[in-house]
Amino acid sequence: GSWSQERKIEFQSSVSIILLNNVVNFGTLQMYESKNTSNDTIAPFLLENNGNAFLNVSLNSTQLWESVSGDSSYYKYKIKNNSAELGSFNWLQSITSWTNFPIGWTSQAISKLDFNTSKDTAKTDVLVTVPPQEPAGNRSSTVTFTASLGE
C-alpha cells in the first residue's frame, strides 16, 4: 500500500548516574580547622551521567557533627565543572557557590547534567569546619545523590 509521510519515533529515557569518586576523606582535623576539596588536593565527589538524557541531580546528607544539628555553615557543598569536561551542566541553575548541606531534606544541586560522553560529569566540592564545641572522635556522613529527568 501507500506509505504515509507522517512518522512516529519514540525514545525511552534512561536515568542513570554513577559516582566515580564516592568517598571524601579529610583525615584528622583540629577544633576550628577547615578543609575543602576545591583545589582537588582532596578529591571531591565525581558524578557521571550514564543515561541517555539530560538529568537534574538532587542531594541530601546525614548529620556530620555531634554538636550541631541540622543544616549549618560547618558543612557545605558546591557543584563545579570537571576540568576535563567543561560545560557539562547548566551553571546558572545549579548550586555553584558554597551552600549548607541539606540535612533531612533534599535539594536540587545540578541542573541538566549532559549525557554526551565528552561532557557528562560534574564535581561536588565539600567544605568542613570543626565546630567550637565538637567533642573529639571520628565523624562520617552519607551524601545521597538522586537523579531525575532534566527536561
pLDDT tens profile 25-58? 999 999 999 999 999 899 999 999 999 999 999 9
Are 73 and 65 a contacting pair, CB within 8 Å?
Answer: no
Return all residues near 119 (Cβ < 8 A) that are at least 6 apart.
Answer: 85, 86, 87, 88
Return all residues near 150 (Cβ < 8 A) that are at least 6 apart.
Answer: 53, 54, 55, 56, 111, 112, 113
State pLDDT tens for residues 76-130.
999 999 999 999 999 999 999 999 999 999 999 999 999 999 999 999 999 999 9
* Of the candidate ranges 4-8, 18-22, 55-59, 93-97, the one whose mean pLDDT is the lowest: 4-8
Nearest to 66 by CA among 138, 126, 127, 125: 138
* Grid cell locating 111: 541542573
Nearest to 101 by CA among 133, 132, 68, 134: 68
119 secondary structure, DSSP code: G
pLDDT of residue 44: 98
Residue type, position 15, single letter: V
pLDDT of residue 15: 96
Return phi, psi of residue 37, to 5°. -100, 10
Does the pTM of the predicted model rise above 0.85?
Answer: yes
Once rounded to an integer, what is the mean pLDDT over residues 145-150?
Answer: 97
